[in-house]
Amino acid sequence: MNNNDIPSSNNRRKFIRGFSLALGTTAFGLPMLSLNACQSGNSGNQEQPEEANQGGAEKKKMGIALVGLGGYSTNQLAPALQETENCYLAGIVTGTPSKAEEWKAKYNIPDKNVYNYENFDQIKDNPDIDIIYVVLPNGMHAEYTIRAANAGKHVICEKPMATSVEDCQRMIDACNKNNVGLSIGYRLHWEPHNLRVMELGQQQVFGPVKKIETANSFVIGNPDVWRLDKQLAGGGPLMDMGIYCVQGAVYTMGEPPVAITAKFGEVTRPEVFDEVEQTIIWQMHFANGAVAECRSSYNESAGRLRGEAEKGWWELQPAYGYSGIDGKTSEGDMDYPQVNQQALQMDGQAQSFMQNEETRVPGEMGMRDVKILMAIYEAARTGNKVPLSW
């Protein structure tokens, strides 16, 4: 997502309107690590959404419309939709006419499946579109998820789910009211190295987890990006990159923390970080006494998730990237393939919508994580240990 694809970018802020524990993988009910399931699907699915026979019943591939054609949609989601088996790229929503023409030509998208932010609600009348994937700045997730639900479409919402717990609840309520599914864009729940971490921690393969260390950061260059606008982003690196650390710690443990301590890091570029934090460091305290030491910054490079248990350890580094994830344990290297995470994610989410089953990464999980993010900010602001109840 880049700034010129934000609705009415001349006045972005006017579009920021008032906008439970539900783990997709439970401690003893983790998705199995099947190498076959880690292979990419066929290409070119967006042109011919073929029908497949599964269990004697016809199943149509579900049409996805991407809302917001920034970097993630352009470089990750759209290419991944050429490799999916249960869904295909059916439509787009963009405020940039030149992008609309480019995408129509590149992906063979018909005119009737191209929308802008003014006529977005008309998408309700389009039977080609089954799922709306909201890939907008964080502060706009609630509005467009609710509008998508009111249009009767299933929703995939990028992380973080929203910028407040209250907005998360409104999103869940809208989807429930309209009887549509809601799934969060947590792609690593289909990534084999991270799935193995879930098994190692939750199933106590090396005994109870005692300590977690995790960091996720990058150096932000261009200051003219929505990630540095507090209204659009909801915060700084914690909302963007730190949420992976929150996720990593929680899916290592199989449960959320019971308390948070935190502090803001030093600001060395005040001219850039005048609205959001540059760096934040926090600790997640779990019921069994385990502590996760976490760090996220827009002025460092990091991507690590390590767990230490009574009888062994494991580490992913890089841990959270789109590719090149690498892992090892106290018993040796993790030998899993690199996969197209977004293709597996969207296929899995489409399948859950088709079968009317709860997704691996439901809205309740997204709301849980936003509650943790808000507690981290509170702890950093106040210097107090913030308890969490579930």
Which residues belong to the active site? 159, 244
In degrees and rounded to multiples of 5, residue 96 shows phi and psi of -115, 105
Q: Is the dihedral of CA 361, 150, 74, 38 positive or negative?
A: positive
Query: How far from chain centre, in Å, is Cα 369?
Result: 11
Tell me how far apart the alpha carbons of residues 113 and 92 are, in angstroms, rounded to a whole number: 7
Residue 318: cis peptide before it, omega within 30 degrees of 0: yes
Q: Do the beta carbons of residue 4 and residue 136 sit within 8 Å?
A: no
SS3 content of the chain, % helix, strand, coil (to 5): 35, 25, 40
Helix axis angle, 243-253 to 192-202, nearest 10°: 50
Output the six-digit token pair for 378.
């509170």
Kindly give, in sequence order, each residue whose CB lies less than 8 Å from that of residue 257, ignoring residues fewer than 6 positions away: 249, 250, 284, 285, 286, 292, 372, 388
